[in-house]
């Protein structure tokens, strides 16, 4: 892949990654009637909505969206979700975010959902930056990228042109 003007993924590549991840999620949940796509607020939730649409096109699984609201500067504070624990109890759940950097946001998100028994718990990210501070991994990922700690990945998933840019 040629990186031009620091664009890591262009619109078509992001759509391709979304479709591929949706197929991987489907393969892992082929016997499920419904799954929970728990998107971390802002881009993770937008990514989860796009995964939901892709899953609906390729399978008969009913993906239920859940918005996960985490204070990214203070992730240990209370986490809120748009659905109740009863709604995801004993279900297959995928925690979704746009970028996995240090793992802080994902690990606190994982911790929140461990208070309820789940059938299966996986994580999905569009960009995995490989700077983990915590032992959390992306089960489904669009791209793995080695970057310096000073660099930032900005993902745009709204509008007419999606892109992931290294800044």
The domain that contains 33 carries what CATH number? 3.40.50.2020
Supply the pLDDT for residue 2.
47
Distance CA 77, CA 66 (A): 19
Is residue 2 one of the residues assigned to a domain?
Answer: no
Is residue 149 one of the residues assigned to a domain?
Answer: yes
Alpha helices in 59-135 (DSSP H): 85-88, 104-113
Residues facing residue 46 across a β-bridge: none
Supply the pLDDT for residue 3.
44
Going 138 to 144 to 150 to 153, the CA torsion angle's sign is negative
pLDDT band, very low/low/confident/very high, at 124 (cuts 50, 70, 90): very high
Which bin fits 137, alpha (ψ -120 to 50), beta or left (φ > 0)?
beta
Residue predicted with more confidence, 69 or 130? 69
Domain count, the chain: 1
Distance CA 68, CA 145 (A): 25
Is residue 21 one of the residues assigned to a domain?
Answer: yes
Distance from chain centroid for Cα 159:
19
Is residue 115 one of the residues assigned to a domain?
Answer: yes
Is residue 1 one of the residues assigned to a domain?
Answer: no
Supply the pLDDT for residue 120.
96
**Which structural domain range is residue 118 located in?**
7-166
pTM of the model: 0.90
5 pLDDT more than 70: no
Is residue 89 one of the residues assigned to a domain?
Answer: yes
131 by DSSP, 3-state: which? coil
Q: Could you read off the pLDDT of 60-111 as tens digits, one per residue?
A: 999 999 999 999 889 889 999 999 999 999 999 999 999 998 889 999 999 9
Which bin fits 130, alpha (ψ -120 to 50), beta or left (φ > 0)?
left
Is residue 136 one of the residues assigned to a domain?
Answer: yes
Is residue 72 one of the residues assigned to a domain?
Answer: yes
37 pLDDT more than 70: yes
């Amino acid at each position: 892949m040629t990186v031009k003007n620091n664009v890591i993924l262009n619109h078509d590549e992001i759509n391709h990654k979304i479709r591929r991840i949706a197929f991987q999620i489907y393969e892992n949940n082929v016997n499920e009637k419904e799954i929970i796509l728990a998107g971390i607020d802002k881009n993770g939730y937008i990514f989860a909505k796009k995964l939901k649409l892709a899953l609906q096109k390729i399978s008969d699984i009913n993906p239920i969206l859940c918005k996960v609201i985490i204070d990214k500067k203070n992730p240990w504070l209370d986490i809120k979700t748009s659905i109740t624990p009863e709604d995801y109890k004993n279900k297959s759940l995928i925690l979704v975010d746009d970028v996995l950097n240090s793992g802080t946001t994902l690990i606190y998100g994982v911790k929140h959902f461990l208070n309820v028994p789940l059938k299966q718990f996986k994580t999905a990210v569009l960009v995995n930056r490989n700077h983990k501070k915590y032992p959390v991994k992306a089960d489904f990922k669009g791209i793995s990228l080695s970057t310096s700690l000073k660099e930032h990945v900005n993902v745009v998933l709204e509008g007419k042109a999606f892109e992931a840019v290294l800044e």
